[in-house]
Amino acid sequence: MFRRRRRDEEPEKNLEPTDEETVAAEESEAEEPGSEGKQESAAVSHGGPWDAEADSIPEVERVDFGAFQVPIAEGIEHQLNIEDAEQDAQGNLVGGHFVAVTVVIGESGLQLQAFAAPKKSGLWDELRQEIAEEIKQAQGETQEAEGPFGTELHAMVPVAIPEELKDQVPPEIAEQGFGWQPVRFLGVDGPRWFLRGVVQGAALQDPEQARAVEEIFANIVVNRGDAPMPPRELLELSLPDGAQQAMGQQEQEGGEDGGSPFNPFERGPEITEVR
- Predicted local distance difference test score (pLDDT) of residue 263: 39
Write out the chain's pLDDT in tens, 275 residues.
Answer: 433 334 344 433 343 344 444 444 444 443 444 444 444 434 444 589 999 999 889 999 999 999 999 999 889 999 988 876 566 676 666 666 789 999 999 999 999 999 999 988 889 999 999 999 999 999 899 999 999 999 999 999 988 877 777 777 777 777 777 778 999 999 999 999 999 999 999 999 999 999 999 999 999 999 999 999 999 999 999 988 766 555 555 545 544 444 333 333 332 222 333 33
- Predicted local distance difference test score (pLDDT) of residue 172: 74
pTM tops 0.85, yes or no: no
Q: How far is CA 245 from CA 81, 89, 250, in A?
A: 17, 20, 9
- Predicted local distance difference test score (pLDDT) of residue 250: 52
- Predicted local distance difference test score (pLDDT) of residue 59: 93
- Predicted local distance difference test score (pLDDT) of residue 153: 98
List the chain domain ranges: 7-272
- Predicted local distance difference test score (pLDDT) of residue 214: 96
- Predicted local distance difference test score (pLDDT) of residue 178: 76
- Predicted local distance difference test score (pLDDT) of residue 85: 58
Q: Edge-to-edge strands of the sheet including 150-160?
A: 76-83, 97-105, 108-116, 193-201, 178-190, 150-160, 141-147
List, as one string, the DSSP characters of 170-213: -HHHHHHTEEEEEEEEEEEEETTEEEEEEEEEGGGT-HHHHHHH
- Predicted local distance difference test score (pLDDT) of residue 14: 41
- Predicted local distance difference test score (pLDDT) of residue 175: 75
What DSSP state is assigned to residue 141? E
**In the beta sheet, which residues pair with residue 112?**
101, 197
Give 180's contacts (C-beta < 8 A, 6+ positions apart): 140, 156, 157, 158, 159
The Cα 233–Cα 59 span in angstroms is 29
The Cα 196–Cα 112 span in angstroms is 6
Any idea how long the chain is?
275
The Cα 245–Cα 201 span in angstroms is 30
Give 27's contacts (C-beta < 8 A, 6+ positions apart): 119, 228, 229
